[in-house]
Structure 1
Amino acid sequence: MPHIPYEQEFELYHYGESLCAQMVRVALAEKEISYKSHHLLLNEITRNATNLTPEYLAVNPNGIVPTLVHEGVPVYDSWEIIKYLDVVQPTIGPRLWPTDEAVRGETEDWVREAALRDDAAPARTLGTAIPVVSVPIIQACLKRQPFFHVMWKFRKHPKRERAALFRFLRVRSIPKTISDRAVRTIAVSLSRIEDALAKGGPWLFGDFTQIDIMMMAHFHRLEDVHLGEVLRSEDLPFVAAYWTGLQARPSYKTAILDWHEENWRCSIEQVWGETSSPVLAALCTEVADVRKGVLRPAA
């Protein structure tokens, strides 16, 4: 494990619009932990990126965000970082991991479903479906960069599968089978959240925990990709109230809204403007069907 030079006890390397970075910033805000910010720009977002510099690769050899550095020791993967913060700051802010063993096991299952994991197939979990519906934003960012520049710069990316994906997205779209699967997965996940909230609330496990942080970021992304109307669907009344509650937490503003980034915002405007996503109707239909118990073959 490398030892990273540091100036403050906690330092965070992150990108404003990254789902995983949003989750970690929310956790830091909820735990009332101050940190030194190292804001990076990603290669898929802009030509003037900073996540593959020698300096950052010395912090995170994979060149991805976020990375938390605590007294010189790097911690990787957003869900592991949030667990870590709960251990080192147990008495301030909410406990982000339940102390009850039974609830903790269920929380682990939800976190695996919501995490952006490399070992999960595309669009098979909520954590891998949300990035699929985010592809139009990434494509808009990539297409603003010269073709040969994109092809050339990703040769340096330590994660070869990510390099191949971004090169692919510069010229082609995600296959429709994967897009359709993502819509179905999101609908099933929202229905599952609705059922869980109906048992109590206001949060998924009664108290505010890591899974609520993850949902805050995912729901915000649904708003970004102009699918937010599904969160106010008459088929999901508990989800609607839940989302209102998440948005009311101070951490939503300080850790998510205050970190909006220009390249990302410009791409949202370029792709959708003031219109809804063309996927919205299909997603709302899927939600309605799932709530009615209509089952379709998996994509």
Structure 2
Amino acid sequence: MSEYELYNAPQSTCSQRVRYTLHAKGLRFVEHKLDLFRGDQLKPDYLAINPNGVVPALVHNGTSVLDSSVIMEYLEDIHPEVAPLRPSDPLKVAEMRAKMRYIDEVPTPAVRVPSYNLAFLPHYQAMTEEEFLAVCESKPLRREFLLKMGRTGFPKAEMDEALGRLQRGVGRFARWLDESGGPFVLGRTLSLADIAIMPVIVRMDDINLGYLWASSPAVGRWLDLIRETDAFAATYYHGSLLTEKYPHLQSLKTTAA
């Protein structure tokens, strides 16, 4: 058995955070890719690992560690000397954690709305109403989210609200970069806060929402730096982007360009 086993999904933004952290620290792990639309995350063997029925879950020497932000901090706790991703100053650590909480509260859930409407909705539309309701009831943490979306997608008001939250999230992120002097959230060094927001910015760019930081060039420069890291290439293997999984999104992106 490998010391680390990661149960995740290629396109899952929360999974991408953890994959990046593992790669940034040079930790070898066995990756189990779950097919979320086949319900792999709801099968008894996975629910025994993560009763919440979501990804990711890290199994370290046979013990489960859950929630992407918790996993990231856990990896830093047990390997603080390897590619440190957390400041040594307790006040800076508190600042980093406060920023991570904001990322988890505002832009991370907001990006799910356009993601589902643009990429995942056709999967649910192909179901009967009974099949769709059964899927909703099977989701320990996503039941209400899916019911709100329904088989017709999130209405314009929901999409507008999500885009507004993303715009505010990007604005806050740009302010952090400005206040720290950049190029990263806390200044010159990459931290867990950067990794926390990375999948949101990458997802937004992938589904044609990059215009939301057109007036904040520091965000674009930050994204370029993240993409240049070795951990990024290892994290975003082919099939990790929605445009790689869903060809119709690639055509929309080409049209928009």
TM-score in terms of structure 2 length:
0.89
| Corresponding residue for residue 133 of structure 1 | 114
Matched residue count: 254
DSSP 3-state at the match of 2:256: coil
**Aligned in 2, Cα 1:264/1:170: closer, same or farther, shift over 3 Å?**
farther
| Corresponding residue for residue 140 of structure 2 | 158
Give 4+ residue runs of structure 1 displaced > 4 Å after superposition: 261-264
| Corresponding residue for residue 66 of structure 1 | 56
User: How far is 1:189 from its partner?
Assistant: 2.1
Q: Tell me the percent identity.
A: 26
Deviations 1:108-149 (A, max 9, x none): 11101112xxxx5xxxx1222111221212212322445443
User: How far is 1:216 from its partner?
Assistant: 1.7
| Corresponding residue for residue 210 of structure 2 | 228
* In structure 2, distance between residues paired with 1:193 and 1:268: 30
| Corresponding residue for residue 280 of structure 1 | none
Maintained 8 Å contact 1:140/1:270: no
User: How far is 1:89 from its partner?
Assistant: 1.2
* In structure 2, distance between residues paired with 1:246 and 1:55: 35
Maintained 8 Å contact 1:13/1:37: yes
Structure 1 residues 218-297: aligned runs within 5 Å: 218-231=200-213, 233=214, 235-260=215-240, 265-266=245-246, 268-269=248-249, 272=252, 274-276=254-256
**Aligned in 2, Cα 1:129/1:157: closer, same or farther, shift over 3 Å?**
closer
User: How far is 1:202 from its partner?
Assistant: 1.3
Q: Structure 1 or 2: larger helix share?
A: 2
Maintained 8 Å contact 2:11/2:241: yes
| Corresponding residue for residue 86 of structure 1 | 76
Maintained 8 Å contact 2:207/2:243: no
* In structure 1, distance between residues paired with 2:250 and 2:151: 17
1:193 to 2:173 alignment = yes
1:216 to 2:198 alignment = yes
Maintained 8 Å contact 2:87/2:93: yes
User: How far is 1:256 from its partner?
Assistant: 1.9
Which amino acid is 1:88 matched to? I
| Corresponding residue for residue 97 of structure 1 | 86
DSSP 3-state at the match of 2:200: helix
Gaps of 5+ in 2: none
DSSP 3-state at the match of 1:11: strand
Aligned partner of 1:113 among 97, 102, 113: 102
Which amino acid is 1:78 matched to? S
Deviations 1:181-200 (A, max 9, x none): 22222222222222222241
| Corresponding residue for residue 288 of structure 1 | none
Which amino acid is 2:156 matched to? K
Maintained 8 Å contact 2:167/2:212: no
* In structure 1, distance between residues paired with 2:14 and 2:171: 23
* In structure 1, distance between residues paired with 2:241 and 2:170: 27
Which amino acid is 2:93 matched to? R
Task: Give the RMSD, CA atoms, in angstroms.
Answer: 2.4
| Corresponding residue for residue 284 of structure 1 | none
User: How far is 1:36 from its partner?
Assistant: 0.8
Deviations 1:39-81 (A, max 9, x none): 1011xxx3x3311111111111111100001111101110000
